[in-house]
Amino acid sequence: MTVKKTKTERQIPLERIRNIGIIAHIDAGKTTTTERVLYYTGKTYKLGDIDEGTTQMDWMEQEKERGITIVSAATTTMWTPKLPEALFSGPHRINIIDTPGHVDFTAEVERSLRVLDGGITVLDAEEGVQSQSETVWHQADKYSVPRICFINKMDKLGANFDRTVGDIEEKLGVKTAVLAIPIGVEQSFKGIVLLLERQAIIWEGDETGAEYSIQEVPPELKAKVEEARHRVIERIAETDEKLTEKYISDEEPSVQELKQALRRATIKNELVPVFCGSSLRNKGVQPLLDAVVDFLPSPLDLEPEKGVNPKTGAEEERKPDPNEPFSALAFKVQTDPHVGRLTYIRIYSGHLAAGSYATNITKREQERIGRLLLMHANQREEIEDAEAGEIVAVVGAGKTTTGDTLSDSAHPILFEGIEFTEPVIALAIEPKTRQDQERMGTALAKLAEEDPTFKIKVHPETGQTIVSGMGELHLEIIVDRLKREFKVETNTGNPQVAYKETIRQTTEAEGKYIRQSGGRGQYGHCFLRVEPKNRGEGYEFENKVVGGKIPREFIPAVEKGVKEAMENGVIGGYPLVDMKVTLYDGTYHEVDSSEIAFKIAGSMALQTAVKQASPVLLEPIMKVEVTVPEEFMGDVIGDLSSKRAHIVGTTQRGKVRIIHALAPLAELSRYATILRSMTQGRASYYMEPSHYEEVPANIQEALLSKGKTGKETQAKK
């Protein structure tokens, strides 16, 4: 259902808006925390439960079945700070994006962080800082997003607050400002002590956690509270000159002064406030909401968004002001069964009205903004217009995709887009019936538009449709969505590793394409130099033709030919990467030269050059972490070593060991089953893409001969 609201009904000053994301490792409790936030802010009237499949934010069928978040869900809610000594009063709008924790859906985290002003990092009190927590933390560092840490699951067996705080400082390399310590632990956890206020908040009796009492600090905790309070005041005072002077002269700053200084330090990423609780048991969420308002920035607290004027090339900025020219960044595209294609945008300046026009600066296209919607997961609230600082969904911007800039045509600006990781795994997919065939192409195109890490290509020799993604789960979800949402039945092959090719030497080659068949012919002639680049540096094309030996209008055609040839490699048909291509010479014919002739010449020259440049296959290497009981550690390390893994080291956490390794993805097929059977189901593992490395010569040879056999069989069929 779509509810319509006018601007005056939802108008909130910019300083009272918080755009935040909830980020963490899988199973740390992000969605449960978000569900509690929605309940306590009055957005929902029933506590959502992941195990029962009743959460608001995990609305997809696949999310409910698996109990995981797959797509980031946006919602907007209101919160008025409740606790004494709060920095701000009055209702605040909190726009929240709940992101997935599974590494296969890392694109959802990346695009959310690009447009958010602050973040809550949720950590498991027993597990501490896990791998994906580190990954998303560094993603947030890239965009300088201020964060609060919420140590969740304080009621869990093995929960250790102090160890987790130590983990945050050591593994994430940040200074913490611990503002709350737990009262009790595991089964006895019942509340928290707010250090600056010297007040205990106890939740008891009420199952929903909506009621709590504010009490004196329990006598047995007084000494610990004073010590921790002294430490946090010292940390905060270090960031502010006036407070440092007070501190040195033994004058204690007021709670308000300390909170204001901590707010400034948090926004500058100098300190990270730390809170704790148990979202599942409904404890600790209200103080966290107060902290979001107190310490995370409003759009006004941040630097203006910088971009480039596409006409002049000069750097410009847009302030979060409704009176500035309109500018926004599209960060997500979604297909909604009721309203069609939705484009989520973050508005950085100016205002946007439903029924108006905006220019897509990235694609140089005019877009009509049909309707504007505030989203609550998969429910919609229609609005008449939106202003700077808001996150809204647009209906009608049909050409806009993830990372595009929308702006006022009279004052164009181009913001930095969003970069995504390359896929590491692929599989062949084919429709079951002719009817499915007609629908499959459209469905895959829509899914690829939604998800920038999902790629589609047709194999040039076999004609098969190959889809690529970030992992087996990612592709499994795609196939499932094809069936459920688009009613397309498919057959799929086994997942295949996404190999790449590169070169090890610098070489030069000539490409000559001449055809004469009566009348006007075709003539394209060029010389290319190829040079290897460092791993991960990508592709670069340079034009060094002088003296008009190749007319300027044919240079892009040569580059296009080079790019197309790179798509299919030369030794195994895999994409070529990490190389520089220089066009340095050539000739042309005044009558016969054409773009198509130079494109073919560029492609021929590249293939010849690469064959002479000692080409080699590259394979994706995964960062693997196995959590295993001590008695099985030797077996697991032995098995990993047999899979060409490089054991980086081991760490201990309680009674379990964590094995850190780098292993080729090709060797990790069905690893979950192997690990379970080897450890009586007591071990678990996590992996994420790390980098690409050369495939050992003997394995490359076996791969290529296997590939050739497969192609011959396909050709015979």
Provide the annotated binding site for GTP. Answer: 24-31, 98-102, 152-155
Binding-site residue set: 24-31, 98-102, 152-155
Q: Order of strands, edge to edge, in the sheet holding 199-202? A: 180-183, 191-194, 199-202, 213-215
Q: Which residues contact 329 (CB under 8 A, 6 or more apart)?
A: 114, 115, 345, 346, 348, 403, 404, 405, 406, 415
Element spanning 579, H or E: strand 579-587
Question: What one-letter code names the amino acid at 606?
Answer: L
Distances (CA, A) of 82 to 94, 181, 294, 390: 15, 19, 11, 24
SS3 (DSSP) at 404: coil
CA 390 to chain CA centroid, Å, is 20
Contacts of 32 (CB under 8 A, 6+ apart): 50, 55, 152, 279, 280
Asked if 643 and 667 touch (Cβ cutoff 8 Å), the reply is yes
**Alpha-carbon distances, residue 109 vs 101, 150, 532 (angstroms):** 8, 18, 32
User: Do 581 and 539 meet the contact criterion of CB atoms below 8 Å apart?
Assistant: yes
Q: What is the SS3 assignment for 517?
A: coil
> Rounded to an integer, what distance in angstroms lies between the CA atom of residue 386 and that of residue 382?
11
Using CA atoms, how far apart are residues 222 and 485, in angstroms rounded to an integer? Answer: 57
- Find the helix or strand (DSSP H, E) in which 712 lies: helix 697-716
Listed in order, strand segments (DSSP E) in 350-409 are 351-353, 357-360, 365-368, 371-376, 379-383, 385-387, 391-395, 405-407
CA distance to 1, 257, 334, 424, 629, per residue, from 626 (Å): 45, 45, 35, 20, 10
Q: Strand, coil or helix: what is 102?
A: coil
Burial (CB count within 10 angstroms: exposed 0-12, middle 13-18, buried 19+), residue 491? exposed
Q: Which residues contact 95 (CB under 8 A, 6 or more apart)?
A: 17, 18, 19, 20, 74, 75, 76, 390, 391
Measured distance CA(136)–CA(510) in Å, rounded: 46
* Rounded distance between C-alpha atoms, residue 206 and residue 208, angstroms: 6
- Taking CA atoms, 583 is separated from 502, 550, 588, 603, in Å, by 18, 10, 14, 12
End-to-end C-alpha distance for the chain, whole angstroms: 51
Q: Which residues pair with 194 in a beta bridge?
A: 180, 199
* Rounded Cα gap, residues 492 and 464, in angstroms: 11
